[in-house]
Each structure stands twice: as structure tokens, then as C-alpha cells.
């Protein structure tokens, strides 16, 4: 285990007192504190927010487009952090899976989307901002499970230097085949960052999923 | 056919409190702390290695103590029990010792005609002691447990699997193991000539829940290979068989490759050389904090942040 599963920060309502929780996963070079600052843009004030922090601020060392093994054992460790976080929310705070929401940015979005695909079930919502499923091009994806009733939003620039738009569209197709209600938006000429429209969509999906 | 896999090399587990971990494995089980270093990928966490006097492959149990992480849960897709080998004559000694230390144990039971007892460390790590007279490895006399009763190293690891077929295929077709016994859904495989330290049991567990990673859960199991060359051959064969095997990683005391077996358990293949005496003499193993070169410039900060350890 490389990433410390204890290294987490929280914001919003206390976990004990909230009916919904959003797991926020930061990008390469980011931190739990950074990503939690997005909490103030979520209109629904009933959320608890929880963010794990990567060892050295990086979930895995190489591009998410490289062969999976090149990012091991970091990638497995990062996925285990999300698994243990989810398990903790279920066992210690009694959240049901549809009360759990996921939001990731950049590397954190890739990690979150990959985790959700590998652990498909009904979640409250999944928001992958500037990210896509992990692995080399033409990887055969055989995820098990169903994402029926899970709203998923994929937002990315169409010229993102890190995230090819093809991967965003491929992820959209995979999630749709797994039964999710997918909204994907490619923003023309946007930088690698989170924009206002993306936050609006997240808020709409959160509100619609109530 | 060239021998690429010899048997078990080490088992690595997540732990809670650091000092309790040291006390348990050095005092209660009587292993030697053979190396005190940090997680090479996360230097704010210790990596503690316990083993026999020299930390021979097949005796090494290692831990990442993460402080107060929640406990894991035993289940499928996990190595649930790590069995150590001890002389038949030591059964009474060990039962008395566990009883005196208020450590609940189950057994003695019989499995494949050997007697064993089963218990857990304070984090819930599953341990067994298997009593046998086949083990020629020396025990370590640490001043608390006479060498004649001391554990010799690993005996067997138990892998819980919902669907064992693919794991069995990996063990037998790629990893040079052979089936040597079957008992109540438990399939025993040996590497090389077999014997304690070279056994893997695959336990068909269709009704188990899925395991959760946490304190007391095994993170990975490493198999031993003789040299860097044999490691590259097995790496190639694993890749050919469709496994996502990592590039070779330098762990200072061995070189490692990692991959996940079909049931979800993380496997490693580690070289036997150079071993633990590469950066401190055998007599002083485990006494100083050893850092890989890339962390030496940060030693003062790393030392200041790690909890103190006392080997009682």
C-alpha cells in the first residue's frame, strides 16, 4: 500500500449528520484541501465532503494512457484507497451506495472513473472533470456490474493537452453500455481546468437525483 | 525446465499501531526485526521486516504500520492466513505461551495430517502455527524463546477464492507449482521440492464476503526467484500469459515485479539476492533506520516524523 488510507480531509456537513456524501479526488500535484474548495460551489448544503490525499500528491506516476502495468503498484494502491474510503462510509457512517457521490478532477477524475467502472453499482452521481477511463488506447474493457440509475457527467476541453477527447467519448460509451445516464460535454478551446458550466451541470444532476 | 519460482519469499501486511506491531512479532512470536526502513513509495510510513536471524527468503513477514487505519475484513480475494512452521515438540510451549499472553487461539486442529493452531494479531492478521518435523531451517534464539521451540519461517499461505480455477491455472501453468493434496475444498500446491515455506493453499470459498483492505489484512505475497535473470524470464512468461506485470523495481534488499492474480490478490516475485545484510552486518540487523539513497538527504525530517520503536 503506497497511499495512506488515513490521509483524508473533510468539509461540509459532518459525516455523522449528513444524508449524502461526495468523495472528491484531487489531480496530480493537487491536494485534498484544494479539491475540497469546490465544496462551496455545490448548492445542496446537505452534503458531507471527503477527500483522500495521494502520497506525494500523485496517484500514479505516468500518464493514464500508458499500459496499466507501468502505473503499478501505485494505481492498485490508489484504487484501494477509494475502496477503503467507500467501505468506511458504508460501515462507519451507514451511507447507502446511492447516497455516495464521486467527483474527480484530472488524474483524480481518471482514478474515480476507473474505480466506478470496476466497482459498478448504483451511486448518487459520478462527476469526472477532465478525465477518462485509465489504460492504453484499444484496451479491451470488460467491466462487470451495472450503473443503472447512476447519473454520470464527463466534462472536458476538446483540446485538453492531457486528456484526448477520444478517451472522454470512449468512456461515455462504456458507461452508457453499463446502464448509466451519461452526460458528456466537450468544451471548445477550454484550458485543463474546471469551468462554471461544469459546476452547473454537477448541481443540476445533484438536484435531479434527489 | 529451469526453476523460476522457489516458494514463498515474504508476506506484507497493513498494520495499526507501530509499537504494538513490534511487540507482537518480536516478543510474542519471537521473530527478529531484521530491517527497519520506510515504504519506498511513501517514506512517511515505516516498512518493518521480521524474519529469522538473517531474514532468509521464506521467513520474512513485513508490515506497513499506518497508525489508526480501520481494520480490514477477511474474505475472498485475499490471503487470509499466514502459517508459520514450528517443531512438533513445541506445541505445548506455544499453547502455553498464547494462553499466558491472553491471546485467544483455536485448535489444535489437523490439516493434511499436521497439527496446527490458529489465532490473530491485535489488528486481526490471521496467523497459524503448523507443527511438523520436516523443517530443517534453524530457529532464532532471541533470548525469549528457546531455539528448539522457535518458529522456522513460513509454512503455508492460504488464498481464499470464489472461483479457484484461474488461480490454480496460474500457479500450475506459469508459476511452476504442483498440486500435492486436497482436503475439504482446500487445494495444496508446492513449489520446487515442497516442504514448509513452499506451500500455497487455495481455499474454495464460494460463500465468503469480499475482503476489505485495512489494518491486519495482507497486502501482497511475494514468491522467491534466484536471480535477476530468472525474474526476467518469469516476468516475460507472466506477460505472455496475459498478466499485467510491472517493470522490475529496486527494493534495496531484493528486486520485485508485481501483478494481480485472477482472484484479485496482489502477487510479487522477488529475487533472493542481495538480502538484508547488504547495508548492515547480520549482528546489527534491524537496529538502525535504513533509507534508500534517494531519501538520505531527507533523513532528519523523516526520522522526526516516524514514531519511535523499541525492541523490548
Task: Give A-chain residues touching B244 at CB under 8 angstroms.
Answer: 67-69, 72
Question: Are B40 and A54 spatial neighbours (Cβ–Cβ below 8 Å)?
Answer: no
Predicted confidence at residue B57, as pLDDT, reads 95
Determine the residue of chain B that is closest to A91 in CA distance. Answer: B70
- Which of A2, A70, A87 is the closest to B42 by Cβ? A2
Mean of pLDDT over chain A? 94
A179 touches chain B (CB under 8 A): no
Q: How confident is the model at residue A91 (pLDDT cuts 50, 70, 90)?
A: confident
To the nearest whole angstrom, how far is the Cα of B63 from the nearest Cα of chain A? 10
Complex-level ipTM beyond the 0.95 threshold: no
Determine the residue of chain B that is closest to A60 in CA distance. Answer: B41
A69 touches chain B (CB under 8 A): yes
Q: How confident is the model at residue A5 (pLDDT cuts 50, 70, 90)?
A: confident
Q: Which fold has domain B7-305?
A: 2,3-Dihydroxybiphenyl 1,2-Dioxygenase; domain 1 (3.10.180)
Measure the CA–CA gap between B222 and B8, rounded to whole angstroms: 6
The domain segmentation of chain A, as residue ranges, is 8-208
Question: Are A23 and A85 spatial neighbours (Cβ–Cβ below 8 Å)?
Answer: yes
B75 touches chain A (CB under 8 A): no
Predicted confidence at residue A210, as pLDDT, reads 41
The rounded average pLDDT for each run of 10 residues, N- to C-terminus, in chain B (312 residues) is: 93 95 95 95 93 95 91 94 97 96 95 96 97 93 88 97 96 97 96 95 93 93 97 97 94 95 96 94 94 94 93 86
Decide: residue B173, CB within 10 A, 0-12 exposed, 13-18 middle, 19+ buried. Answer: exposed
Task: Give B-chain residues touching A55 at CB under 8 angstroms.
Answer: 41-42, 44
- A-to-B residue pairs, Cβ atoms closer than 8 angstroms: 63
A196 touches chain B (CB under 8 A): no
Q: What is the pLDDT of residues A109-146, one digit of tens each?
A: 999 999 999 999 999 999 999 999 999 998 999 899 99
What is the average pLDDT across A100-114? Answer: 97
Q: Is the pLDDT of residue A209 over 60?
A: no
Predicted confidence at residue B312, as pLDDT, reads 83
B149 touches chain A (CB under 8 A): no
Q: What is the pLDDT of residues B150-184, one digit of tens each?
A: 999 999 999 999 999 999 999 999 999 999 999 99
Measure the CA–CA gap between B272 and B278, rounded to whole angstroms: 12
CB atoms within 10 A of CB B27: 15
Task: Give B-chain residues touching A80 at CB under 8 angstroms.
Answer: 213
Q: How confident is the model at residue A1 (pLDDT cuts 50, 70, 90)?
A: confident
B72 DSSP 8-state letter: -
The domain segmentation of chain B, as residue ranges, is 7-305
What is the average pLDDT across A42-65? Answer: 95
Question: Are A132 and A113 spatial neighbours (Cβ–Cβ below 8 Å)?
Answer: yes
Predicted confidence at residue B26, as pLDDT, reads 95
Predicted confidence at residue A208, as pLDDT, reads 83
B96 touches chain A (CB under 8 A): no
B17 touches chain A (CB under 8 A): no
Q: What is the pLDDT of residues A56-78, one digit of tens each?
A: 999 999 999 999 999 999 999 99
CB contact under 8 A, B244 and A73: no
Task: Specify the CATH number of the domain A8-208.
Answer: 3.40.50.1820
What is the average pLDDT across A80-105? Answer: 92
Amino acid at each position: 500500500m503506497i497511499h495512506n488510507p488515513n490521509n483524508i480531509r473533510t468539509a461540509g456537513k459532518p459525516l455523522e449528520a449528513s444524508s449524502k456524501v461526495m468523495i472528491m479526488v484531487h489531480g496530480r500535484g493537487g491536494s485534498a484541501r484544494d479539491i475540497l474548495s469546490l465544496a462551496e460551489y455545490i448548492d445542496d448544503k446537505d452534503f458531507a465532503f471527503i477527500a483522500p490525499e495521494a502520497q506525494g500528491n500523485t496517484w500514479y506516476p505516468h500518464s493514464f494512457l500508458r499500459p496499466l502495468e507501468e502505473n503499478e503498484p501505485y494505481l492498485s494502491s490508489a484504487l484501494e484507497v477509494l475502496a477503503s474510503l467507500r467501505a468506511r462510509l458504508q460501515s462507519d457512517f451507514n451511507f447507502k451506495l446511492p447516497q455516495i457521490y464521486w467527483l474527480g478532477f484530472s488524474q483524480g477524475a481518471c482514478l474515480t472513473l476507473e474505480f466506478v467502472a470496476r466497482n459498478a453499482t448504483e451511486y448518487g452521481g459520478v462527476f469526472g472533470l477532465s478525465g477518462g477511463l485509465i489504460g492504453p488506447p484499444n484496451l479491451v474493457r470488460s467491466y462487470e456490474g451495472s450503473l443503472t440509475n447512476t447519473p454520470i457527467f464527463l466534462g472536458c476541453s476538446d483540446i485538453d493537452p492531457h486528456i484526448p477527447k477520444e478517451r472522454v467519448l470512449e468512456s461515455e460509451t462504456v458507461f452508457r453500455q453499463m446502464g448509466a445516464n451519461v452526460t458528456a460535454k466537450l468544451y471548445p478551446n477550454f484550458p485543463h481546468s474546471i469551468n462554471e458550466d461544469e459546476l452547473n451541470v454537477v448541481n443540476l444532476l445533484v438536484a435531479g437525483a434527489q | 525446465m529451469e526453476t523460476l519460482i522457489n516458494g514463498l519469499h515474504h508476506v506484507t501486511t497493513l498494520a495499526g499501531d507501530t509499537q504494538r506491531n513490534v511487540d507482537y512479532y518480536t516478543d510474542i512470536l519471537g521473530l527478529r526485526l531484521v530491517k527497519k526502513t520506510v515504504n519506498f513509495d511513501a517514506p512517511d510510513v515505516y516498512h518493518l521486516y521480521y524474519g529469522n536471524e538473517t531474514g532468509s527468503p521464506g521467513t520474512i513477514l513485513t508490515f506497513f504500520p499506518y497508525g489508526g487505519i480501520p481494520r480490514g475484513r477477511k474474505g475472498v480475494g485475499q490471503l487470509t492466513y499466514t502459517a508459520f512452521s514450528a517443531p512438533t515438540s513445541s506445541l505445548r510451549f506455544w499453547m502455553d505461551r498464547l494462553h499466558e499472553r491472553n491471546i485467544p487461539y483455536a485448535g489444535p486442529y489437523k490439516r493434511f495430517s499436521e497439527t496446527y493452531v490458529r489465532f490473530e494479531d491485535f489488528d486481526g492478521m490471521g496467523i497459524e502455527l503448523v507443527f511438523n518435523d520436516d523443517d530443517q531451517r534453524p530457529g532464532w534464539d532471541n533470548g525469549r524463546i528457546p531455539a528448539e521451540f522457535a518458529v522456522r519461517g513460513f509454512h503455508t499461505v492460504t488464498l481464499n477464492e470464489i472461483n479457484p480455477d484461474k488461480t490454480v491455472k496460474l500457479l500450475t501453468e506459469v508459476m511452476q507449482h504442483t498440486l500435492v493434496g486436497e482436503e475439504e475444498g482446500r487445494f495444496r500446491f508446492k513449489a520446487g521440492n515442497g516442504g514448509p515455506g513452499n506451500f500455497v493453499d487455495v481455499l474454495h470459498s464460494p460463500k465468503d464476503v469480499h475482503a476489505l483492505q485495512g489494518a491486519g489484512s495482507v497486502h501482497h505475497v511475494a514468491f522467491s526467484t534466484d536471480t535477476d535473470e530468472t525474474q526476467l524470464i518469469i516476468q516475460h512468461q507472466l506477460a505472455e500469459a496475459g498478466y499485467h506485470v510491472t517493470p522490475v523495481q529496486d527494493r534495496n534488499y531484493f528486486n520485485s515485479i508485481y501483478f494481480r492474480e485472477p482472484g484479485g490478490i496482489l502477487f510479487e516475485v522477488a529475487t533472493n539476492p542481495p538480502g538484508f545484510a547488504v547495508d548492515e552486518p547480520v549482528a546489527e540487523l534491524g537496529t538502525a533506520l535504513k533509507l534508500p539513497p534517494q531519501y538520505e538527504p531527507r533523513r532528519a525530517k523523516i526520522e522526526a516524523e516516524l514514531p519511535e520503536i523499541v525492541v523490548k
